[in-house]
Amino acid sequence: MNAFAVAGAWQDIDQEESIMGAENNESRQTALSELRQVLDGRLSTSEAVREQHGHDESWHPGVLPDAVAFAQSTEEISEILRICHRHGMPVIPFGAGTSYEGHLIPTDGGISLDVSGMNEILQVNAEDMDVVVQPGVRRKQLNAWLADTGLFFPVDPGADATLGGMCATRASGTNAVRYRAMSENVLALTVVLADGRIIKTGSRARKSAAGYDLTRLFIGSEGTLGVITEITLRLYGRPEAMASAVCSFETLEGAVNTAIQTIQMGIPIARVELLDEVMMGATIRYSKLDLPERPTLFLEFHGSTQAVAEQAEEVAALAQDNGGGEFRWTTLEEERSALWQARHDCAYACKALRPGCENWATDVCVPPSRLTEIISYIRGVAENSFVPAPILGHVGDGNFHMVFVIDPANREELVEAERINDLLVAKALEMGGTCTGEHGIGLGKMAFLEMEQGEGVEVMRTIKQALDPKNIMNPGKIFNFQAGTVHQHGKPSLAGGSV
Amino acid sequence: MNAFAVAGAWQDIDQEESIMGAENNESRQTALSELRQVLDGRLSTSEAVREQHGHDESWHPGVLPDAVAFAQSTEEISEILRICHRHGMPVIPFGAGTSYEGHLIPTDGGISLDVSGMNEILQVNAEDMDVVVQPGVRRKQLNAWLADTGLFFPVDPGADATLGGMCATRASGTNAVRYRAMSENVLALTVVLADGRIIKTGSRARKSAAGYDLTRLFIGSEGTLGVITEITLRLYGRPEAMASAVCSFETLEGAVNTAIQTIQMGIPIARVELLDEVMMGATIRYSKLDLPERPTLFLEFHGSTQAVAEQAEEVAALAQDNGGGEFRWTTLEEERSALWQARHDCAYACKALRPGCENWATDVCVPPSRLTEIISYIRGVAENSFVPAPILGHVGDGNFHMVFVIDPANREELVEAERINDLLVAKALEMGGTCTGEHGIGLGKMAFLEMEQGEGVEVMRTIKQALDPKNIMNPGKIFNFQAGTVHQHGKPSLAGGSV
């Protein structure tokens, strides 16, 4: 259970439950007893299990599901959804619980459908460089399994998320600049629809023009259109050599321009991560790095031994032109691991800035040429705030995170973080960017989605209403089922009483 | 006007028109007079203009639209669709007319909405490597415009198609093995929906997790969900060097395995095209190539001077291991152009096999490891047929074409081509592939889509019905609006009387 829950968020539950009518409640009780028949011992109503499934890694206050169903197969999920559809019982698919925008919170109760037990790697087609997995397989598990094949799956959102969850949120991460995001690395899905029908989208062909691209419709649908129960992923050959590099810059602009010019020159860089001076300060202290407290790029190159050396030298020259300091690069596994461990530990480094506090990690993505401007702008805002807010990001894609390190029990801090987040997203949209590059909408960014996509949200709503007319699939996420209604779950500036 | 039209396909028109009720007809007349008000001189009912818009480059018999509207702006298209929506008038978006599966044929009459005049390049964002274009911009026009910027747009389906059309059919082509297909190279769209509403999908950010991926829903929707009126595309830096290569093989298997191993080794090859011995025979004669009549790979490498040399040498070694003959590679522009001109002239080379005949070009895509098997199988079928059927394809992706060179006035030949095509697609599906890698469904592959996607087609239909309840957008394409109805337009084995 995360600290937000400890901080009293569970008080919300009663408010939510009181909304339910008695009739509704009766129907749900019937659903639960029918589900118990199907799932036998795998339907849990224990307080501990429900609490574990009542939140994600966001600041949003948790809500208990009515029960947690531990599913074992596509067919079983189909049966579960038929029951829930019949009785109007909400269903929230649950993988590793690592999402950041409240995606997994059962704001209207219902069933948390835990697919983490469906974690088999079903088929490795090494010659075709694809793999078929169940949705509960985690990315590290997959790569460990693939170790002997010479292949790997590159998408790396940091957390050891499930592949089902990574599909559901259109995840990406540090490697996306070279290998792209989930939406570009999934060939096919098996999906159970809200009414229990099972469909297969896509195929094992590497491309297709066969009708509407349903695969991509479900990727990023955050569990609101169906449950993903099988995934066919593209794999890549493990590069012969990998080199990592680090370089500090006098200015933020110098760091960002180095990243932009690297992409423009077509250098197939595998990772290019920016840490601003605040983030570097935190990381240097937490991971004991011998680096200056300045804007810094962490980089990685994949290719032949000759190619990675060539790439590293080209980028080193660009860095020098942009006021970079010493450009240290290495192919030694130990040094490479230490660097990326520090990058992956950034979340802990942030928390260590204020012991006992938690991270609210937001993300936006802008056209890369606007990165310097938006980061300078929001850095300026944050410098005049009492909330620490380090910045780090996948600058090759124009995507970055600001991490508000706050005490979730302190309403003033939540409201202040919300204020900065509002300014950040507004600026990103003004620049032609998006309110989220990889975390998704969940509960946290519904209003921003309306600002960004306008009438497009009405089209999303039309699709949702057509495919899930009873609104049982993860209700209340991404947008409101009925236009014009406003969801206020856990909004810091309005729900102060509950936090 | 293509040869199929000359061959008597226009006889279909009366049959189609006779289906229309008198009431329907009156409503359409009202629509036409309202459209005339909006479009002034840009609504044409001339026979010649309607004939030009009544077919594509497929074998499918043409049908005349009621009129052709030459649109000039998003707002005007919105007004046109409002009128057509009110009166139930079909609308078929039309770009360059180069599609292969009957996508553009107004099987139920209506308006052919020609956007070829909307051909402005609106914004080049060189630093962000993106460009905003109108849908009538053609790919060669775009690349000529970009010549001075050091950037280019790589997707190349062969024909000089419009970018709107390339979005609508999820086009790809020779460069997709490195740069991917349209769906992976479009950042944002402006779309006019069936009822005239205008939406913007995506943004200029290079990735996003903001709600449902509407961009990808419209890419490949073949004009059945709305009209694409603005497109934001990813661009790429022009590589410092390009090298082309050609290599003949003793066996088909040797050629295919060389392609597969190249991909597996992570060599970032830009093009790898297979021509089978029949296709090589035709090309050698047509383009006067000094090459043996054997399975042959045409290849291209992009990168630094050093990198392309390295890549070419690596692939040459693989080719030798697989029984390849001399591996000739060059960076000389003149020799490179001659090679790719021959590749792009393959369609003419096919036609030259039987003067006066036409090409029916089909396409499937399979997991690459199955390529040898499926090509050998269908080669065997074709060898026992009286219809010449060369094979060529983008083997790095597992995608290839068979071209039936037939006399469209000869029903027996159409039925024979259909028989081989049926066997080809059935085999591709059996192998876990798709009935079309890049040409789309149109009229020609509707039954195959049902075989491939099953219940998924019902989901597509649900989306179509929700977004275009009056079925005005390119009706009768991809799938039937009502489940269970069967569309037989121009089916060779059934519509013999009309061809």
Q: What is the pLDDT of residue A486?
A: 63
Would you say residue A22 has pLDDT above 80?
A: no
Would you say residue B493 has pLDDT above 90?
A: no
Nearest-by-Cβ selection for A459 from B304, B439, B467: B467
Taking the Cβ of residue B436 and every Cβ of chain A, the question of whether any pair is shorter than 8 Å is answered with yes
Would you say residue B428 has pLDDT above 90?
A: yes
Q: What is the mean pLDDT of chain B?
A: 93
Specify the pTM.
Answer: 0.95
Query: What ipTM does the predicted assembly reach?
Result: 0.94
Nearest-by-Cβ selection for B366 from A205, A216, A236: A205
Q: What is the pLDDT of residue A65?
A: 98
Q: Which of A256-270, B105-119, B359-373, B431-445 is predicted least confidently?
A: A256-270
Contacts of B236 in chain A (CB under 8 A): 266
Length of chain A counted residue by residue = 499
- A208 and B478 within 8 Å at the Cβ level: the answer is no
Q: What is the pLDDT of residue B21?
A: 67
- A170 and B209 within 8 Å at the Cβ level: the answer is yes
- A367 and B205 within 8 Å at the Cβ level: the answer is yes
Rounded percentage of chain A residues whose pLDDT exceeds 70: 94
Q: What is the pLDDT of residue A497?
A: 37
Contacts of A195 in chain B (CB under 8 A): none
- A455 and B197 within 8 Å at the Cβ level: the answer is yes
* Distance spanning both ends of chain A, measured CA to CA: 15
Max distance between CA atoms of chain A, in angstroms, equals 70
Q: Which of A313-317, B20-24, B262-266, B444-448 is predicted least confidently?
A: B20-24
Closest approach of B273 to chain A, Cα-based (Å): 16
Reported confidence tier of residue B7, pLDDT bands at 50, 70, 90 = very low
DSSP B76-92: HHHHHHHHHHHHT--EE
Q: What is the mean pLDDT of chain A?
A: 93
Q: What is the pLDDT of residue A3?
A: 38
Would you say residue B424 has pLDDT above 80?
A: yes
- B180 and A183 within 8 Å at the Cβ level: the answer is no
Q: How far apart are CA B284 and CA B131, in angstroms?
A: 38
- B216 and A221 within 8 Å at the Cβ level: the answer is no
- A454 and B204 within 8 Å at the Cβ level: the answer is no
- A453 and B211 within 8 Å at the Cβ level: the answer is yes
Would you say residue B231 has pLDDT above 90?
A: yes
Contacts of B180 in chain A (CB under 8 A): 184
Contacts of B463 in chain A (CB under 8 A): 212, 463, 466-467
Would you say residue A453 has pLDDT above 50?
A: yes
Nearest-by-Cβ selection for A211 from B368, B397, B449: B449
- B436 and A208 within 8 Å at the Cβ level: the answer is yes
Contacts of A365 in chain B (CB under 8 A): 205-208
